[in-house]
Copies of this chain bind each other. A is one copy, B any other.
Amino acid sequence: MAQVLRGDLLAREIEEELRGRVAAMEAPPTLAVVLVGDDPASHIYVSRKRKAAARVGITSIEHRLPAATDEAQLLALIGALNDDPGVHGILVQLPLPAGMAADRVLDAIAPGKDVDGFHPVNVGRLSTGGQGGLVPCTPLGCMLLLDQVVEDFRGLKAVVIGKSNIVGKPAALLLLERECTVTVTHIHTRGLPEICRGADIIIAAAGVAHLVRGDWVKPGAIIIDVGINRIPAPDSRPMIVGDVAAEECDHAAVITPVPGGVGPMTIACLLRNTLDAAQRR
Protein backbone atom coordinates (compact mmCIF):
# COMPACT_ATOMS: atom_id res chain seq x y z
CA MET A 1 0.00 0.00 0.00
CA ALA A 2 1.20 3.50 -0.81
CA GLN A 3 1.80 5.84 2.10
CA VAL A 4 -0.97 8.45 2.21
CA LEU A 5 0.71 11.82 2.73
CA ARG A 6 -1.89 13.89 4.52
CA GLY A 7 -1.73 17.58 3.77
CA ASP A 8 -4.39 18.35 6.33
CA LEU A 9 -2.16 17.05 9.14
CA LEU A 10 0.94 18.85 7.87
CA ALA A 11 -1.08 22.06 7.42
CA ARG A 12 -2.14 21.78 11.06
CA GLU A 13 1.50 21.50 12.14
CA ILE A 14 2.40 24.53 10.04
CA GLU A 15 -0.48 26.51 11.52
CA GLU A 16 0.76 25.57 14.99
CA GLU A 17 4.20 26.94 14.14
CA LEU A 18 2.71 30.10 12.62
CA ARG A 19 0.55 30.64 15.70
CA GLY A 20 3.76 30.66 17.74
CA ARG A 21 5.39 33.15 15.40
CA VAL A 22 2.36 35.46 15.50
CA ALA A 23 2.23 35.29 19.30
CA ALA A 24 5.85 36.43 19.44
CA MET A 25 5.14 39.52 17.33
CA GLU A 26 4.31 42.93 18.78
CA ALA A 27 1.14 43.11 16.73
CA PRO A 28 -0.51 40.47 14.54
CA PRO A 29 -0.05 40.82 10.77
CA THR A 30 -2.97 41.87 8.61
CA LEU A 31 -4.08 40.21 5.40
CA ALA A 32 -6.35 42.16 3.05
CA VAL A 33 -8.53 39.94 0.88
CA VAL A 34 -10.19 41.53 -2.12
CA LEU A 35 -13.18 39.75 -3.62
CA VAL A 36 -14.86 41.14 -6.72
CA GLY A 37 -18.25 39.83 -7.81
CA ASP A 38 -20.18 36.83 -6.61
CA ASP A 39 -18.52 33.69 -7.91
CA PRO A 40 -19.80 31.08 -5.41
CA ALA A 41 -16.55 29.08 -5.36
CA SER A 42 -14.57 32.25 -4.68
CA HIS A 43 -16.79 33.01 -1.70
CA ILE A 44 -16.09 29.54 -0.30
CA TYR A 45 -12.32 29.93 -0.79
CA VAL A 46 -12.28 33.36 0.81
CA SER A 47 -14.26 32.12 3.78
CA ARG A 48 -11.78 29.24 4.27
CA LYS A 49 -8.87 31.66 4.17
CA ARG A 50 -10.56 33.93 6.70
CA LYS A 51 -11.13 31.06 9.11
CA ALA A 52 -7.57 29.82 8.73
CA ALA A 53 -6.17 33.32 9.35
CA ALA A 54 -8.26 33.56 12.51
CA ARG A 55 -6.92 30.20 13.75
CA VAL A 56 -3.30 31.43 13.68
CA GLY A 57 -4.05 34.96 14.88
CA ILE A 58 -3.65 36.81 11.57
CA THR A 59 -6.11 39.67 11.18
CA SER A 60 -7.96 39.43 7.89
CA ILE A 61 -9.92 42.26 6.33
CA GLU A 62 -12.26 41.57 3.45
CA HIS A 63 -13.02 44.07 0.73
CA ARG A 64 -16.04 42.92 -1.25
CA LEU A 65 -16.70 44.79 -4.45
CA PRO A 66 -19.71 44.31 -6.73
CA ALA A 67 -19.19 42.51 -10.05
CA ALA A 68 -19.89 45.83 -11.80
CA THR A 69 -16.80 47.47 -10.23
CA ASP A 70 -14.58 48.94 -12.88
CA GLU A 71 -10.88 48.18 -13.05
CA ALA A 72 -9.86 51.71 -12.08
CA GLN A 73 -11.75 51.43 -8.80
CA LEU A 74 -10.10 48.09 -8.05
CA LEU A 75 -6.67 49.53 -8.88
CA ALA A 76 -7.36 52.48 -6.59
CA LEU A 77 -8.21 50.11 -3.74
CA ILE A 78 -5.01 48.12 -4.35
CA GLY A 79 -3.02 51.36 -4.36
CA ALA A 80 -4.50 52.33 -1.00
CA LEU A 81 -3.72 48.87 0.45
CA ASN A 82 -0.15 49.09 -0.92
CA ASP A 83 0.32 52.41 0.88
CA ASP A 84 -1.30 51.30 4.14
CA PRO A 85 1.48 50.35 6.60
CA GLY A 86 -1.09 48.40 8.61
CA VAL A 87 -1.62 45.94 5.73
CA HIS A 88 1.06 43.25 5.34
CA GLY A 89 -0.41 40.99 2.70
CA ILE A 90 -2.82 41.59 -0.18
CA LEU A 91 -4.72 38.85 -1.97
CA VAL A 92 -7.05 39.47 -4.90
CA GLN A 93 -9.23 36.41 -5.28
CA LEU A 94 -9.26 35.07 -8.83
CA PRO A 95 -11.03 34.76 -11.20
CA LEU A 96 -11.94 38.40 -11.75
CA PRO A 97 -15.18 39.30 -13.53
CA ALA A 98 -15.02 39.43 -17.34
CA GLY A 99 -13.58 42.68 -18.62
CA MET A 100 -10.92 43.00 -15.95
CA ALA A 101 -7.36 42.13 -16.93
CA ALA A 102 -5.95 39.91 -14.19
CA ASP A 103 -2.36 40.71 -15.20
CA ARG A 104 -2.83 44.46 -14.84
CA VAL A 105 -4.48 43.95 -11.47
CA LEU A 106 -1.82 41.54 -10.16
CA ASP A 107 0.95 43.85 -11.44
CA ALA A 108 -0.48 46.63 -9.28
CA ILE A 109 0.05 44.77 -5.98
CA ALA A 110 3.26 45.79 -4.20
CA PRO A 111 5.59 42.76 -4.65
CA GLY A 112 6.41 42.72 -0.93
CA LYS A 113 2.70 42.33 -0.06
CA ASP A 114 1.90 39.91 -2.89
CA VAL A 115 1.17 36.84 -0.74
CA ASP A 116 -0.10 34.88 -3.75
CA GLY A 117 3.32 35.24 -5.42
CA PHE A 118 1.80 36.19 -8.79
CA HIS A 119 3.50 39.57 -9.33
CA PRO A 120 6.13 39.44 -12.13
CA VAL A 121 8.88 40.38 -9.67
CA ASN A 122 8.03 37.40 -7.46
CA VAL A 123 7.64 35.11 -10.48
CA GLY A 124 11.01 36.33 -11.76
CA ARG A 125 12.74 35.70 -8.42
CA LEU A 126 11.32 32.20 -8.33
CA SER A 127 12.49 31.56 -11.89
CA THR A 128 16.06 32.70 -11.28
CA GLY A 129 16.28 31.03 -7.87
CA GLY A 130 16.80 34.44 -6.26
CA GLN A 131 16.05 35.02 -2.61
CA GLY A 132 13.47 37.26 -1.02
CA GLY A 133 10.50 36.59 -3.27
CA LEU A 134 7.09 35.26 -2.27
CA VAL A 135 6.34 31.82 -3.77
CA PRO A 136 2.85 30.87 -5.04
CA CYS A 137 0.99 28.95 -2.34
CA THR A 138 -0.03 25.74 -4.12
CA PRO A 139 3.40 24.81 -5.53
CA LEU A 140 5.00 25.83 -2.22
CA GLY A 141 2.57 23.47 -0.48
CA CYS A 142 3.56 20.70 -2.92
CA MET A 143 7.23 21.20 -2.07
CA LEU A 144 6.62 21.15 1.68
CA LEU A 145 4.74 17.87 1.22
CA LEU A 146 7.58 16.43 -0.86
CA ASP A 147 10.06 17.55 1.80
CA GLN A 148 8.31 15.14 4.18
CA VAL A 149 9.25 12.13 2.09
CA VAL A 150 12.22 13.07 -0.12
CA GLU A 151 15.65 13.55 1.39
CA ASP A 152 17.64 14.30 -1.72
CA PHE A 153 15.91 15.57 -4.86
CA ARG A 154 19.10 15.67 -6.94
CA GLY A 155 18.68 13.83 -10.21
CA LEU A 156 15.17 12.55 -9.51
CA LYS A 157 12.91 12.61 -12.55
CA ALA A 158 9.91 14.83 -11.93
CA VAL A 159 6.96 15.10 -14.28
CA VAL A 160 4.60 18.04 -13.89
CA ILE A 161 1.21 17.68 -15.57
CA GLY A 162 -0.20 21.10 -16.41
CA LYS A 163 1.64 24.31 -17.18
CA SER A 164 -0.47 26.97 -15.49
CA ASN A 165 1.14 30.06 -14.00
CA ILE A 166 -0.47 29.21 -10.67
CA VAL A 167 0.74 25.62 -10.27
CA GLY A 168 2.53 23.86 -13.12
CA LYS A 169 5.22 26.36 -14.11
CA PRO A 170 6.17 27.48 -10.60
CA ALA A 171 6.20 23.85 -9.39
CA ALA A 172 8.55 22.95 -12.27
CA LEU A 173 10.87 25.83 -11.37
CA LEU A 174 10.93 24.81 -7.70
CA LEU A 175 11.75 21.21 -8.61
CA LEU A 176 14.50 22.42 -10.93
CA GLU A 177 15.93 24.52 -8.11
CA ARG A 178 16.22 21.29 -6.12
CA GLU A 179 18.16 19.72 -9.03
CA CYS A 180 15.44 17.40 -10.30
CA THR A 181 15.31 16.61 -13.99
CA VAL A 182 11.95 18.17 -14.82
CA THR A 183 9.52 17.47 -17.65
CA VAL A 184 6.54 19.79 -18.04
CA THR A 185 3.57 18.26 -19.84
CA HIS A 186 0.18 19.62 -20.84
CA ILE A 187 -2.80 19.23 -23.11
CA HIS A 188 -0.64 19.07 -26.25
CA THR A 189 1.75 16.46 -24.86
CA ARG A 190 1.90 13.20 -26.79
CA GLY A 191 2.55 9.93 -24.98
CA LEU A 192 1.82 11.24 -21.50
CA PRO A 193 1.36 7.77 -19.94
CA GLU A 194 4.84 6.72 -21.07
CA ILE A 195 6.36 9.99 -19.83
CA CYS A 196 4.71 9.51 -16.44
CA ARG A 197 5.98 5.93 -16.22
CA GLY A 198 9.52 7.31 -16.13
CA ALA A 199 8.82 9.63 -13.20
CA ASP A 200 10.11 9.37 -9.64
CA ILE A 201 7.83 12.29 -8.74
CA ILE A 202 4.53 13.20 -10.41
CA ILE A 203 2.80 16.50 -9.73
CA ALA A 204 -0.65 16.22 -11.30
CA ALA A 205 -2.22 19.62 -11.86
CA ALA A 206 -4.27 19.13 -15.00
CA GLY A 207 -7.72 19.62 -13.54
CA VAL A 208 -8.97 16.39 -15.14
CA ALA A 209 -10.63 13.84 -12.86
CA HIS A 210 -8.70 10.56 -12.69
CA LEU A 211 -6.44 11.46 -15.62
CA VAL A 212 -3.46 9.57 -14.20
CA ARG A 213 -4.16 5.84 -14.15
CA GLY A 214 -2.38 3.20 -12.12
CA ASP A 215 -0.43 1.91 -15.11
CA TRP A 216 1.05 5.40 -15.67
CA VAL A 217 2.79 5.17 -12.32
CA LYS A 218 6.00 3.25 -11.75
CA PRO A 219 6.39 1.24 -8.56
CA GLY A 220 7.82 3.43 -5.81
CA ALA A 221 6.84 6.76 -7.37
CA ILE A 222 5.75 9.74 -5.29
CA ILE A 223 2.50 11.36 -6.40
CA ILE A 224 1.29 14.83 -5.47
CA ASP A 225 -2.30 15.23 -6.62
CA VAL A 226 -3.22 18.89 -7.03
CA GLY A 227 -6.53 18.25 -8.79
CA ILE A 228 -9.83 19.22 -7.17
CA ASN A 229 -12.54 17.99 -9.53
CA ARG A 230 -16.26 17.71 -8.91
CA ILE A 231 -17.82 14.63 -10.47
CA PRO A 232 -21.36 13.25 -10.23
CA ALA A 233 -21.65 10.57 -7.56
CA PRO A 234 -24.08 7.65 -7.34
CA ASP A 235 -26.21 9.40 -4.70
CA SER A 236 -26.34 12.45 -7.02
CA ARG A 237 -24.39 14.80 -4.73
CA PRO A 238 -21.16 15.73 -6.55
CA MET A 239 -17.98 14.12 -5.25
CA ILE A 240 -14.53 15.73 -5.06
CA VAL A 241 -11.78 13.70 -6.72
CA GLY A 242 -8.21 14.38 -7.77
CA ASP A 243 -6.36 14.10 -11.08
CA VAL A 244 -5.08 10.66 -10.09
CA ALA A 245 -6.99 7.38 -9.92
CA ALA A 246 -5.62 6.83 -6.42
CA GLU A 247 -7.30 3.45 -5.91
CA GLU A 248 -5.15 2.09 -8.78
CA CYS A 249 -1.90 3.37 -7.25
CA ASP A 250 -1.16 0.94 -4.42
CA HIS A 251 2.25 0.34 -5.99
CA ALA A 252 3.25 4.01 -5.58
CA ALA A 253 5.45 4.80 -2.58
CA VAL A 254 3.52 7.90 -1.55
CA ILE A 255 0.33 9.64 -2.66
CA THR A 256 -1.51 12.72 -1.41
CA PRO A 257 -5.26 12.31 -0.88
CA VAL A 258 -8.01 14.48 -2.36
CA PRO A 259 -9.49 16.11 -0.37
CA GLY A 260 -7.08 16.56 2.53
CA GLY A 261 -3.89 16.76 0.50
CA VAL A 262 -2.64 19.83 -1.34
CA GLY A 263 -5.77 21.92 -0.65
CA PRO A 264 -5.14 22.56 3.06
CA MET A 265 -1.43 23.13 2.33
CA THR A 266 -2.30 25.94 -0.08
CA ILE A 267 -4.07 27.82 2.69
CA ALA A 268 -1.32 27.14 5.24
CA CYS A 269 1.22 28.52 2.75
CA LEU A 270 -0.87 31.65 2.24
CA LEU A 271 -0.70 32.28 5.98
CA ARG A 272 3.03 31.57 5.98
CA ASN A 273 3.57 34.04 3.13
CA THR A 274 1.58 36.67 5.02
CA LEU A 275 3.77 36.23 8.08
CA ASP A 276 6.95 36.26 5.97
CA ALA A 277 5.79 39.44 4.24
CA ALA A 278 5.10 41.10 7.59
CA GLN A 279 8.41 40.06 9.12
CA ARG A 280 10.54 41.04 6.12
CA ARG A 281 9.33 44.62 6.29
Contacts and interface: CB of A to CB of B under 8 A. Distances in A.
Interface of A: 103, 119-130, 133, 154-155, 157, 163, 165, 169, 172-173, 176, 179, 181-186, 188-190, 195
B184 A182 contact: yes
B169 A176 contact: yes
Copies of this chain in its oligomeric complex: 2
Contact of A190 (B126, B128, B181): B181
- Tell me if A's interface is mostly helix, strand, loop or mixed: mixed
Contacts of A125: 120, 124
A-B pairs with lowest CB-CB distance, top 7: A120-B124, A123-B124, A124-B124, A183-B183, A181-B189, A179-B188, A155-B188
A182 B179 contact: no
A120 B155 CA distance: 27
A121 to B, nearest CB: 5
Given A103-B128, A128-B123, A183 B186 contact: no
B176 A181 contact: no
Contact of A165 (B120, B128, B169, B186): B128
